[in-house]
Amino acid sequence: MGDSQHTGSGPAGHQAAASAYAPLNESDFIAAALQALHDYNRPDRLKDNPLVHSQLVTSAMAVASSMAATQALRKLIRVHAEYLAQSHKFSAYHKIIEYTYLAPLRSQQAVAETLHLSWGTYRRHLGHATRILSARLWEAETALRRGRTATGATDSAHQTPGPGRRQKLWRAGLAFSLATVLVLAVVLYLNRHPLSLRQAGASAQAQKPTLAVLPLLNMDHDANTQYLSDGISDELITRLGRIPGLQVVAHTSSFSLRDKQMDVRDIGRLLGVNYVLEGSLQKEAGQLRVQAALVSTANGYELWSDEFTADQNQAFAIEDSISDAIVKELHPALAPPVAAAARHYTPVNPEARDYYLVGLEYLNNRTYEDIDQSIVYFRRSIQADNNYAEPWAGLATAYAVLRDYAEGIPPDTYYDDALSAANKAIALDPSLARVHAILGLLHEEHWQWQDAQREFQLALQLDPSDATAHQWYGMYFWFTGDMQASLPELRTARDLDPLSLIINADLGRALSYAGQFDAALAQFRTAIVLAPRFALTHAFMAEAYMAKGQYRQALDEARTTTTLAGSPPASISLAELGVAYSLMDQQEHARQQLMELEKRASSGYVSGVSLSWLYWNLGDKNRAFAQLRRAVKDHDHLMMSVFGPAGAGERVDPRFADIRKMMNLPPVSTAR
């Protein structure tokens, strides 16, 4: 909370200060009101608050001449807080303010427990309560400034909110209601559809304890330190995911619920989990204080809660303590995994850890610009501490995925950088599961199948809850032709990350590659409920419609894909649109897409797979195979689509045997 500038210094100089009082603007007034509420029981601090010179306090002192400014301010806060209790809508907020500030219990955790609220719900309600109270004070102050009342502050405390405030509250309530309706609509849909995320999560719940780690609340309310609370949350997801017998929801799904006004029981139904870990983080003078609570999604009650404090460069200790406590609560008979228990953390340069966490925050945003920026911060972290394994792992991940977000660059552009960073990370810490998954992906993209499988399996041994590792391993089986092994991996990935857009889309694609086209379309429809504007879902859906011979629907989805993909659309989107036109016997439109791709190829990189797909459907099979051979040499990961319905014709051509040989695959395909 920033300090507001003011004149005067306490009650003694109040009358002189009041005459020179420059009214605070709304944002400064509210900031001062929030600080006054926080300092309610600290008169030594309260005397320096700008509100002691407000019109509210001046009016109150005029009515009771013997009252000090701090007394008047405290009385005003209490009167306006009690106003909340008069409204059934806000009465719960009054209790939260009463127990937290006016007659404080031992700790905020004690307040939450007394009111039978989970920690996250309590923190959200506290935020609402303080904003409503500060707005109420501002409204009364504004009324006095405008001369709307000649009475003292006590009278103003009982006025009803003016039109401006009512409209703000109405808009806020409407926004909250719409958000709630949207969430409930999704939950209802998931409860009613047989292939829904809800059902998938429920099946996982029946097998083993399942947990979602919600992002820690940043109690400093400083966007510049958000990386710290997010970083610790990410580390907890990784630590807990390594525990045998515990299934932990991935970052994508748990972080998508940040700031969502949802009951923990709805979170449990949406993510398919039995438990939620939530809490908050505050940083003071180099010290971290983390409050954490384990909440049952069956009834919303806390099973365990505690507070942890450590130096900022010893955040590992806090993460260890929370992980151990969760293990003891959920698995009393089990000790923490040997790998985690035996791991000894060397002191990390605090600056290096900060740079790493900022880089991680950028990386998780998954746009080209943000991934590129993450590389900058990972390198700064490495410069600060070259032996810190995590930024090397982050660098490997950033380089490995960057090409998926950059149109028009050769596939191997960042390969050497990714491989070098991954090997360095593994040399420093062989237990980093995600790095083994990265190595598996890099080996797969260079057609090194045995090495790829070894790394994927090792990654999943180290972290069975790594949804991305399951996803990539499932895609590995597309190439090797084993769809019976692919589908369970993709389903596990979906269960671990039920709100991930790409994993839901890839599960639909896996079903399509297995020839289960109706199931694939049902999965795509479920994915579209999550994100109607996610282009890849529509692209994969178009491919499934093509395989079913429903060409009109395929063309509609292909058009939607190019619209959603932005301008200019990706080359693969133009190729799919051209193929859809070709299947509808609109050859001229199909050739227009081909001409656009050839024009792009004259000045930049265009995937050989994209060109091959169009050439094949327009009858130029020689050029189609020439482009496939180029794609293999380029290590183009889009070759995976050739092993699905889109490549069915090419796979039965005798020349495809040479393609398989170039890819180090067995001569006889078992792929459908």
Domains of the chain (ranges, CATH numbers): 11-161 (no CATH), 192-343 (3.40.50.10070), 532-672 (1.25.40)
Q: Which of 507, 449, 442, 523 is nearest to 481 (CA)?
A: 449
Instruction: Report how far residue 357's alpha carbon sits from residue 495's, in angstroms, rounded to the nearest whole number.
Output: 27
Q: Which of 363, 440, 444 is nearest to 405 (CA)?
A: 363
Instruction: Report how far residue 593's alpha carbon sits from residue 588's, in angstroms, rounded to the nearest whole number.
Output: 9
Q: What is the model's pTM?
A: 0.70
499 CB burial (10 A radius; 0-12, 13-18, 19+) = buried
Residues 116, 151 contacting (CB under 8 angstroms)? no
Residues 287, 313 contacting (CB under 8 angstroms)? no
* β pairing state of 210-213 and 275-284: parallel
Place of tokens 């502050």: 153
pLDDT at 433: 94
Instruction: Report how far residue 90's alpha carbon sits from residue 180's, in angstroms, rounded to the nearest whole number.
Output: 18
Instruction: Report how far residue 191's alpha carbon sits from residue 254's, in angstroms, rounded to the nearest whole number.
Output: 19
Q: Please give the C-alpha separations between residue 448 and each of 441, 444, 480, 491, in angstroms, as whole numbers.
A: 10, 5, 11, 25
pLDDT at 399: 96
Helix (H, G, I), strand (E, B) or coil at 310: strand
Q: State both tokens at 483.
A: 């769809």
Place of tokens 């994508």: 252
DSSP 102: I
* Ordered DSSP codes for 244-274: TT-EE--HHHHHTTTT----HHHHHHHHT-S
pLDDT tens column, 530-573: 889 899 999 999 999 999 999 999 999 999 999 998 778 889 99
Q: Please give the C-alpha separations between residue 370 and each of 361, 362, 406, 583, 671, in angstroms, as whole numbers.
A: 9, 5, 12, 38, 37
Q: Please give the C-alpha separations between residue 625 and each of 533, 579, 643, in angstroms, as whole numbers.
A: 33, 16, 14
Helix (H, G, I), strand (E, B) or coil at 304: strand
Residues 543, 646 contacting (CB under 8 angstroms)? yes
Instruction: Report how far residue 456's alpha carbon sits from residue 440's, in angstroms, rounded to the nearest whole number.
Output: 5
Residues 393, 354 contacting (CB under 8 angstroms)? no
Beta strands in 481-616 (DSSP E): none
Bridge partners of 278?
A: 293
110 Cβ contact partners less than 8 Å away, ≥ 6 residues apart: none
Q: How many helices (H) and strands (E) does the chain have?
A: 34, 6
Instruction: Report how far residue 247's alpha carbon sits from residue 210's, in angstroms, rounded to the nearest whole number.
Output: 5
Average pLDDT across each block of 10 residues of the chain; the chain has 672 residues. List them in order: 35 38 80 89 86 88 82 90 78 86 79 78 83 87 69 39 39 41 46 42 55 86 73 87 86 84 85 90 80 87 84 77 83 49 58 88 86 94 94 96 88 96 96 96 96 97 94 94 94 94 94 95 93 92 96 96 86 95 96 96 94 96 97 95 92 95 80 41
Place of tokens 């009385």: 75
